[in-house]
Every structure is written in C-alpha cells, then in structure tokens.
Structure 1
Amino acid sequence: MPNHQSCKKRIRQTKKLTEINRSVRSAIRTSLKTIRTASDKDAALKEMPNLFSMLDKAAAKHRAGFNANRAANYKAKVAQVINGLAAKA
C-alpha cells in the first residue's frame, strides 16, 4: 500500500480511467461486431455513424489507446467491410 498521498491519488485515477477505457473499448468492439456480422449493407450502414462517432470521441480524448491515426485505420477497415457487402435485394 502506498504511503504518499500522490501515489494514493494515482491509484484512484488509474482505477477510474481503466474502467472508462474498458467501457469505451467494449462499446467499439460491440459496434464493430454488429457491422461485421451484418447480413446486408443497409444494416451495416445504420450502425456506421454510431461507430464513427465513438471512434472520433475516443481519439479526441485519447481513450482506450486510440489516437487519430488508429481511429482513421479503423474507419478505413470498416468502410472496406461495408463496401464488400451486397446491397439488400
């Protein structure tokens, strides 16, 4: 157990940020899974703005290890997946 007040504070901050990062990462992964398992292009396109918004917010706040380049790479990969899906006939 730390003795210094600053060490105690860092432990509290780390615990809080870990929980926030975990929830952000989980939400992004869930949205990605929804898009990747979508049966048609329309279903994936409905989820895309939600995912892009989460990625932009995570990158802006440096959450869950996301920076602008990583978010852009995720967006590009998602766009490839969506473009590869067939439109609903």
Structure 2
Amino acid sequence: MANHKSALKRVRQSSARRERNRYYGKTMRNAVRNFRALTDASEAQNKLPELNSIIDRLASKGRIHKNKAANLKSSLAQHVNTLAV
C-alpha cells in the first residue's frame, strides 16, 4: 500500500474513477443490447438518436475510444436499416 498522502489520494481517486467508468460502460452496453433486441423498425428509429447521444457523450469524455463509438453507431444504424426492409 502507498505511504505518501498524495499516493493515498491517488488511490482513492483512481478507484472512484474506475467505478464511475465501469458504471457508464455497463449502462452503454445494456442500452446497446436492448436496442439490438428491438424488432419494431419505428421504435428503433425513435431510439437511435438517443443511443447515439449516449455513445457520443462517452466518447467525448474519453470513456470509450472515438473509433469504437463510430463503429458502434454504424452497426446500430445498419441494424435499423435491416429492420426497415
């Protein structure tokens, strides 16, 4: 364990950030899973901008990589397009 006050504070900060990042990541994964389970095209089209907003927010904060965000948004848009056909 750390001996300096600054190191102890750093341990507290990093554990708090880790918990926060895990929460946001899990929330996003659950939202994506629920979205992919949708079978109604109109409902999926209504929820897509909301989900894109969540993904963009996480990417802008650095919680997920911007390329991962772009790949997710692309695959979700493809999912909506396959439902519409």
TM-score (norm. length: structure 1):
0.85
Structure 1 residue 60, shift from structure 2 partner: 0.7
Per-residue deviation, 1:86: 3.6
Identify the residue that residue 80 of structure 1 maps to in structure 2. 78
**Shift in Å, 1:46:** 2.2
Q: Give the secondary-structure state (helix, strand or coil) at the position aligned to 1:85.
A: helix
Deviations 1:13-52 (A, max 9, x none): 1111111111111111121112111021112122212211
The corresponding residue for 2:26 is 26
The code of the aligned residue for 1:78 comes to L
Residues 50-75 of structure 1, C-alpha deviations (whole Å, 9 max, x = no match): 21111111111101xx1221111110
**Does the Cα contact within 8 Å between 1:34 and 1:47 map onto a contact in 2?**
no
Q: Gaps spanning 5+ residues in structure 1: where?
A: none
Equivalenced residues, count: 85
- Kindly indicate which of the two structures has a greater share of residues assigned to helix: 2
Percent of aligned pairs with the same residue?
38
Aligned AA (2:20): I
Runs (4+) off by over 4 Å = none
- Partner amino acid, structure 2, of 1:59: A
State the distance in 2 between where 1:23 and 1:44 align: 24
Q: Letter of the aligned partner of 1:76 in structure 2?
A: S
Query: Unaligned 5+ residue runs, structure 2?
Result: none
